[in-house]
Structure 1
Amino acid sequence: MPVLFLIPLFTGLVTAYIFKKSTDEIGQLIGVVAVISLALGLILAPWQVQLLLLVVVLVGTQKLLQQNEYKLRQQKKQQEQPNYNHSRQASSSEVQKMENEFTRKYRGVNY
């Protein structure tokens, strides 16, 4: 198995580290070099490494999808559960409506 793909891969990793630590404009240029080196390293990698990377990405996205579905189900359950505080507020608003029907206000004063 040829190991020449490791040269641009490690170059990309080193430049990515420098990019994270740098705050100057040269950091942006190094960031571009890091992205190009990492892409080149993955392109030059043997098919076994590429297949392994593909499997890792597919399994990782599957787990993320399951976590998101679980969170959505939890949110739906919370929305479907009756909110007892809300029903108490509704009854107090009904009482307030009845009071407003019998009394009138003029500039904030009941009469």
Structure 2
Amino acid sequence: MPLFFLIPLFTGLITGYFLNKENDEIGYISGVLTAISLIFSLILAPWQVQLGLLVVVLFGSKKLLQKKMYE
């Protein structure tokens, strides 16, 4: 399984981490670009990774909904 989809993810996360401390517009722009790179890397991810994330989201949301109903 090629791991080239991790390149935009790590690039965005590293850039967002270093520029997150800025209070100017550059901090907000880096946050938006980090979110875009996360979406882009999920699009490029192999189907096994996408399926695994889908299963985690479905079962995690079901457990959270059940927990919230009983509170």
TM-score (norm. length: structure 2): 0.87
What's the counterpart of residue 44 of structure 2? 44
Task: Tell me whether 1:30 sits opposite 2:30 in the alignment.
Answer: yes
**SS across alignment from 1:21:** coil
Cα gap change, 1:20 to 1:61, in 2 (>3 Å): farther
1:41-84 residue CA offsets vs partner (Å, 9 max, x unmatched): 0000000000000011111101110111111xxxxxxxxxxxxx
Quote the Cα distance in structure 2 between the aligned partners of 1:20 and 1:67.
34
1:19: how far off?
A: 5.1
What's the counterpart of residue 2 of structure 2? 2
Amino acid at match of 2:36: I
What's the counterpart of residue 58 of structure 1? 58
1:12-60 residue CA offsets vs partner (Å, 9 max, x unmatched): 2223323543322111111121011101100000000000000111111
Structure with the greater relative contact order (CA < 8 A, sep ≥ 6): 1 or 2?
A: 2
Contact 1:15 1:30 in 2 (8 A): yes
Structure 1: stretches of 5+ with no match in the other structure:
72-111
Quote the Cα distance in structure 2 between the aligned partners of 1:56 and 1:31.
25
Cα RMSD of the aligned pairs, angstroms, is 1.4
Structure 2: stretches of 5+ with no match in the other structure:
none
Quote the Cα distance in structure 2 between the aligned partners of 1:31 and 1:15.
9
Q: How many residues align?
A: 71
TM-score (norm. length: structure 1): 0.58
After the TM superposition, list the runs of 4 or more consecutive aligned residues in structure 1 that deviate by more than 6 angstroms: none
